[in-house]
Structure 1
Amino acid sequence: MDPNPALPVPTLQPYDDYSRYRGLDLQSAVDASGRAVVVVARRFLPQPDTLAQVGTVTVKAADRLDIIAAQQMGDARWWWRIADANGAIDPVDLTAEPGISLRLTLPQGMTLPRG
């Protein structure tokens, strides 16, 4: 009998609509000690130029991405969408210098209506 059987992967969605992990699969893995654990599948960052731009915002002194997200998108939890839209490896870099213009985009997979 296997002392470390694979854990059943839950079918529930543990992340809310504001999470960058929403919709990612949960998977079974084995940790360094040999125990089976449930992990979130890897999230691949979208290419910024594939996201539909809906506007821009200019960074002001003391701005943070969560503040910008709250003001521009209605919820501070969408700070990661601004990071994705601007290809940030370290999101802090996006607000380090006042005057930088940041792209605001729709979520990945959404397109602007044609009119």
Structure 2
Amino acid sequence: MFESSSRYHAVPTTTYTLADGRTVSHLRRRFLPRPEELMAVGEHVVAAGDRLDRIAARRYGDPEQSWRIADANRAMRPDDLTAAPGRRLRITLPAEASAAVVAGEPAR
């Protein structure tokens, strides 16, 4: 349903059957990861004019991974992360990779 780089890729779907027999599929709820459980791999100090997508492009090689930075910094409004120059942003591994490292599995 979603590309593997999407934050919704691993979220299961649910299908309901309506009274008229039609089915409707939707995503189940996605819970934000706990930032303290994500393995930090760096930090970014916000400079004037920084944008989250550009930070993600530099750190992860993909601007669409900006949601990873938002999750790592417990941001409900991602734009708030770059609003104040000097703010320190945690850069982390994805939740799946963090869990694998903690479990002693090789990184993928």
Q: TM-score range by the shorter chain?
A: 0.7 to 0.9
Q: Which runs of 5+ in 1 are unaligned?
A: 1-13
Corresponding pairs, count:
99
TM-score (norm 1): 0.77
What is the 5 A alignment of 1:36-115? 36-111=23-98, 112=101
Runs of 4+ in 1 over 4 A off after TM superposition: none
Q: What is the percent sequence identity of the aligned residues?
A: 46
Q: 1: distance between equivalents of 2:16 and 2:83?
A: 37
Q: 2: distance between equivalents of 1:78 and 1:25?
A: 20
What's the CA shift string for 1:42-71, capped at 9, x where partnerless?
Answer: 100011000000000011111111110001
Question: Partner residue of 2:2?
Answer: 15
What's the CA shift string for 1:80-102, capped at 9, x where partnerless?
Answer: 00000000011111011111110
The one-letter amino acid paired with 2:92 is T
Question: Partner residue of 1:28?
Answer: 15
SS in 2 for 1:83: helix
SS in 2 for 1:89: coil
Q: Which runs of 5+ in 2 are unaligned?
A: none
Greater Rg by CA: 1
Higher helix proportion (structure 1 or 2): 2
